[in-house]
Structure 1
Amino acid sequence: MAVLASAALALGLGVAFTAGVRRIAIRLEYVAHPRADRWHRAPVATLGGVGIYAAFVATLLVVQPDAAAALPVVLMATVLFAMGFVDDLRPLTPYAKLVVQLLAAASVVASGTRLPWFDEASLNALVTIFWLVGITNAINLLDNIDGLAAGIAAIGSGFLVVNFFLSGQGEVAVIPAALAGAALGFLVFNFHPASIFMGDSGSMFLGFALAGTALLSEYGRSRNVSAVLFTPVLILMLPIFDTCLVAVTRRLSGRAITRGGRDHASHRLVALGVSERRAVLMLYGFALVCGTLAVAVRFVGAEMALLVIPAFGLVVLFLGLHLGTLAIYDQTDRVPPHSTILQALSDVHHKRRIFEVLLDVVLIALAYYASYLLRFDGRFPPEQFVIFVETVPLVIGVQLAAFLVTGMYRGLWRYVGLDDLVGIARSVGIGVACCAVPVFWLYGVGGMRGASRVVFVLDAILVFLFVGASRLSFRLLRSLIGRAVVAAPGRRPVLIYGAGDGGELLVRELMNNAHYGFAPVGFIDDDQRKVGKHLHGLPIYNRDGLRDVIQTLGVTEVVVSTAKVPESYVQQLRDEGVSLKRMRIVLE
Structure 2
Amino acid sequence: MVPSLVVSWLLGFALRVWAPRWGLVDRPGPRKVHDRPMPTSGGLAIWLGVVLPFAILQMMLWFTFDSRPPHGLVTPELVAGFFPREWLPIQAARHLPGVWAQSGRLWTVLGLATVVMTLGLADDRWKLPWWFRLVVEFIVAGVTVAAGYRLTLFIEVPLLTGILSVLWIVALINAFNMLDNMDGLAAGVAAIACTVLAAVMLLTPKPVTGEPQLFVAGFFLVLLGALLGFLWHNRPPARLFMGDAGSYFVGYLVAVISMTATFAGENTPRHAVLAPLCALAVPLYDLVTVVVIRLRAGASPFVGDTRHFSHRLVELGMTKTQAVLTIYLMAATCGLGALLLHQVNTFGALVILLLVGCMISLIAILETTGRRAQRRGKGPEDRSAD
TM class, shorter-length: 0.7 to 0.9
Q: Which 4+ residue blocks in structure 1 deviate beyond 4 angstroms?
A: 327-334
Residue 165 of structure 2 corresponds to which residue in structure 1? 128
Of 84, 87, 90, which residue of structure 1 is paired with 2:126?
Answer: 90
CA deviations on 1:242-287 (whole Å, 9 max, x unpaired) are 1112122222233322222212111121122212112111111111
CA contact (8 A) 1:116 1:221 kept: no
Residue 250 of structure 2 corresponds to which residue in structure 1? 206
- Could you tell me which amino acid in structure 2 is paired with residue 12 of structure 1? V
CA distance, structure 1, for counterparts of residue 230 and residue 384 of structure 2? 38
Residue 26 of structure 2 corresponds to which residue in structure 1? 32
- Could you tell me which amino acid in structure 2 is paired with residue 224 of structure 1? P
1:175 aligns with 2:169: no
CA distance, structure 2, for counterparts of residue 311 and residue 29 of structure 1? 45
Residue 227 of structure 1 corresponds to which residue in structure 2? 272
Residue 144 of structure 1 corresponds to which residue in structure 2? 181
Q: 1:93 to 1:218 in 2, by over 3 A?
A: same
Query: Aligned pair count?
Result: 327
Give the Å deviation of 1:29. Answer: 4.7
Alignment of 1:182-331 (within 5 A): 182-222=226-266, 223-228=268-273, 230-325=274-369, 326=371
CA contact (8 A) 2:27 2:36 kept: yes
**268-277 or 16-25, which deviates more:** 268-277
CA deviations on 1:497-522 (whole Å, 9 max, x unpaired) are xxxxxxxxxxxxxxxxxxxxxxxxxx
CA deviations on 1:83-120 (whole Å, 9 max, x unpaired) are 11111111111111111111111111112211111221
CA distance, structure 1, for counterparts of residue 109 and residue 23 of structure 2? 32
CA distance, structure 1, for counterparts of residue 20 and residue 290 of structure 2? 32
**Equivalent position SS for 1:145:** coil
Residue 47 of structure 2 corresponds to which residue in structure 1? 53
1:159 aligns with 2:203: no
CA contact (8 A) 1:102 1:129 kept: yes
Give the Å deviation of 1:8. Answer: 0.7
CA contact (8 A) 1:70 1:213 kept: no
CA distance, structure 2, for counterparts of residue 181 and residue 125 of structure 1? 31
1:62 aligns with 2:98: no
CA deviations on 1:173-224 (whole Å, 9 max, x unpaired) are 2211111111111111111111111111111001101111111111304431
Give the Å deviation of 1:314. Answer: 2.8
Residue 91 of structure 2 corresponds to which residue in structure 1? none
CA distance, structure 2, for counterparts of residue 50 and residue 264 of structure 1? 25
Alignment of 1:104-123 (within 5 A): 104-117=140-153, 118-123=155-160
Residue 377 of structure 1 corresponds to which residue in structure 2? none
Alignment of 1:561-572 (within 5 A): none
Give the Å deviation of 1:331. Answer: 5.7
- Could you tell me which amino acid in structure 2 is paired with residue 79 of structure 1? V
Residue 495 of structure 1 corresponds to which residue in structure 2? none
CA distance, structure 1, for counterparts of residue 194 and residue 57 of structure 2? 17
CA distance, structure 2, for counterparts of residue 87 and residue 200 of structure 1? 7
Residue 427 of structure 1 corresponds to which residue in structure 2? none
**Equivalent position SS for 1:298:** helix
Q: Which runs of 5+ in 2 are unaligned?
A: 59-95, 205-211, 376-381
Q: 1:128 to 1:331 in 2, by over 3 A?
A: farther
Give the Å deviation of 1:42. Answer: 1.3
Q: 1:136 to 1:89 in 2, by over 3 A?
A: same
- Could you tell me which amino acid in structure 2 is paired with residue 72 of structure 1? T
**148-157 or 131-140, which deviates more:** 148-157
- Could you tell me which amino acid in structure 1 is paired with residue 160 of structure 2? L
Q: 1:300 to 1:70 in 2, by over 3 A?
A: farther
CA contact (8 A) 1:70 1:172 kept: no
CA deviations on 1:476-513 (whole Å, 9 max, x unpaired) are xxxxxxxxxxxxxxxxxxxxxxxxxxxxxxxxxxxxxx
Give the Å deviation of 1:288. Answer: 1.1
**Equivalent position SS for 1:132:** helix
Give the Å deviation of 1:307. Answer: 3.0
- Could you tell me which amino acid in structure 2 is paired with residue 103 of structure 1? I
CA distance, structure 2, for counterparts of residue 312 and residue 89 of structure 1? 38
CA contact (8 A) 2:187 2:231 kept: yes
**165-174 or 281-290, which deviates more:** 165-174
Same amino acid, percent of matched pairs: 32
CA contact (8 A) 1:190 1:197 kept: yes
CA distance, structure 2, for counterparts of residue 60 and residue 333 of structure 1? 52
CA contact (8 A) 1:70 1:216 kept: no
CA deviations on 1:403-423 (whole Å, 9 max, x unpaired) are xxxxxxxxxxxxxxxxxxxxx
Structure ranking higher on relative contact order (CA contacts 8 Å, 6+ apart): 2
CA contact (8 A) 2:43 2:244 kept: yes
CA contact (8 A) 2:337 2:352 kept: no
CA distance, structure 2, for counterparts of residue 324 and residue 299 of structure 1? 35
CA distance, structure 2, for counterparts of residue 132 and residue 239 of structure 1? 13
- Could you tell me which amino acid in structure 2 is paired with residue 205 of structure 1? F
- Could you tell me which amino acid in structure 2 is paired with residue 159 of structure 1? V
CA deviations on 1:414-448 (whole Å, 9 max, x unpaired) are xxxxxxxxxxxxxxxxxxxxxxxxxxxxxxxxxxx
**Equivalent position SS for 1:193:** coil
Alignment of 1:9-20 (within 5 A): 9-20=3-14
Give the CA RMSD over aligned residues. Answer: 2.0
CA contact (8 A) 1:163 1:217 kept: no
Q: 1:31 to 1:332 in 2, by over 3 A?
A: farther
CA distance, structure 2, for counterparts of residue 63 and residue 154 of structure 1? 23
Which of the pair has more CA radius of gyration? 1
CA contact (8 A) 1:245 1:320 kept: no
- Could you tell me which amino acid in structure 1 is paired with residue 150 of structure 2? R
CA deviations on 1:140-198 (whole Å, 9 max, x unpaired) are 00001111001111111112211221232102222111111111111111111111111
